[in-house]
Copies of this chain bind each other. A is one copy, B any other.
Amino acid sequence: MQISLETLRNIVGAAHVITGDDVNSRQEDWMTGALCHAGAIVRPADTDQLAAVMRACFELKQPIVTHGGLTGLVHGAETSPDELVISLERMTAIEEIDRVGGTLTVQAGTPLQRVQEAASEAGLQFPLDLGARGSCTIGGNIATNAGGVRVIRYGMMRQQVLGLEAVMADGRVVSSMNRMLKNNAGFDLKQLFIGSEGTLGIVTRAVLRLQPPMPIEQTALVACPSFDALTELLGHMGKTLGGSLGAFEVMWQNHYRLLTETTGRHTPPIPTDHPFYVIIEGLGSDEARLEAQFSEALEQALERELIVDAVIAQSATQRAGLWAIREDIEGLVKGLAPVLTFDVSLPIIDMQRYTDTLEAQLLQRWPDGRLVVFGHLGDGNLHISISVGSHDPDVRRAVEALVYEPLQALGGSVSAEHGIGLEKRAWLSTCRTSAEIELMQTLKQALDPHCLLNRGKVLA
């Protein structure tokens, strides 16, 4: 490392500079279980300390990696011995809730779930939701522009952020803590930091937008007879439920069947011989009204043969049972081990042809290969899990080529919601033009001229 431990200790206090085994025994990647290789971990108490650390790093050209909840999926938090980790684990205060304006001001190290709970206690909701809610942090959600199961209704993390504060590579603090829905006074600087995976600055605080609560949920699992019916169903539910459509999560037959019949992990609520299954969720505040609206919309879909079977959850337990199939990542991983997972987006109309072609090509090369597909159909986002009996780098690369290369012609993306990190860096150029990548590099150069922030992630 370029920076001395002494310098760091002078800024944050000796107790908050972690070294040696205390660093190397920390996991930095929950998928691979990889341990932290950084030279040290520094834990600033607040923005001022963090800025002082960054000023010192800038002067000494010390590269840094920011750590939040470490629940990322693309090795964006990976470190090497010459890097310093800045962990935001001490910056976890919820600073303010404005019930009238519907805003929550929070430090970046706060876990998502704590924000959801605080919003709920204030009689509002913070709608971003994803499986890692207990561990992932608001700063990480911002840095990766997190998605999840409510995007179709509320948008991604980008839409939930009204303002933020960031520390730049040279230690300057840019405080853009806007609290209003509308602010067109100059460039909207927060957009630079949202989704740039810690490569343009370190997010330290944020003002989040809260939403009116939608405490009533109606949940159904339905079966669709064809892909055309599936897309028509999406349009039908969007139109009839309007702002009450909270989720539209699709499972291809191969996914539904794996987690019910094949592995025996879940009793199938409806038979497993349909091509597509959807979990549809309605959100509202009036139980009787939502129930009537929801069941009427499903009846119409049955009449129009957009769905051929359906079960509506009659209790919280039944509701949890339906979601458990969709969210059983452990079952998926075990059922397909060794599994390779992908997160892509593409225009909805191209999805069936894309997955059919992918499966055919996969089976051609690996006759025992298996493909499992589920995802956020309305968002154009599919999660693809593939098993070909190995996850050696060479095999992974060959499978990646099958999954990613066809996206180029379709205008799709190699990352819908997980980001690029290290894992997808080599594939970035298949879904972004050279002019786009040049412009990204121009931004990187302008904001982080010594390339100290999350070095080598996203951009080479």
Given A178-B413, A440-B189, residue A184 in contact with residue B145 (CB < 8 A): yes
Partner of A184, one of B346, B411, B418: B418
Partner of A183, one of B185, B413, B440, B445: B413
Chain B residues near A191 (CB-CB < 8 A): 188, 191-192, 194
Given A191-B191, A212-B238, residue A186 in contact with residue B459 (CB < 8 A): yes
The reply to whether the CB of A339 lies closer than 8 angstroms to some CB of chain B is: no
Which residues of chain A from 51 to 106 have a CB within 8 Å of any chain B CB? 98-101, 103
Of the candidate stretches A10-18, A250-258, A359-367, A378-386, the one touching chain B is A378-386
The reply to whether the CB of A173 lies closer than 8 angstroms to some CB of chain B is: yes
Per-residue CB proximity of A281-317 to B under 8 Å, as 1/0?
Answer: 0011110010011000000000000000000000000
Q: Classify chain A's interface size.
A: 35 or more
The reply to whether the CB of A446 lies closer than 8 angstroms to some CB of chain B is: yes
Residue among A179, A196, A283, A443 facing the most chain B CB atoms (10 A cut-off): A179
For residue A36, give the distance in angstroms from its CB to the closest CB of chain B.
24
Chain B residues near A240 (CB-CB < 8 A): 285-286
Of the candidate stretches A25-33, A42-50, A113-121, A425-433, the one touching chain B is A425-433
Chain B residues near A151 (CB-CB < 8 A): 181-182
What are 25 of the A-B contact pairs (CB < 8 Å)?
Answer: A100-B348, A100-B349, A147-B182, A152-B181, A172-B435, A178-B411, A180-B413, A181-B379, A181-B381, A182-B413, A184-B195, A184-B416, A185-B420, A186-B428, A186-B459, A188-B194, A192-B443, A212-B235, A212-B242, A214-B242, A240-B285, A242-B283, A242-B284, A243-B243, A445-B446
Beyond A178-B411, A289-B293, 16 extra complex contacts between A and B, CB < 8 Å: A100-B235, A147-B184, A155-B181, A158-B188, A159-B159, A173-B435, A179-B411, A180-B345, A180-B379, A180-B380, A182-B381, A186-B420, A239-B285, A242-B284, A242-B285, A243-B283
Using a CB–CB cutoff of 8 Å, the interface residues on chain A facing chain B are 98-101, 103, 144-145, 147, 151-153, 155-156, 158-159, 168, 172-189, 191-192, 194-196, 200, 211-214, 231, 234-235, 238-240, 242-245, 283-286, 289, 292-293, 345-349, 376, 378-381, 411-420, 424, 428, 431-433, 435-440, 442-443, 445-447, 458-459
4 closest A-B pairs by beta carbon, nearest first, are A243-B243, A191-B191, A180-B380, A212-B238
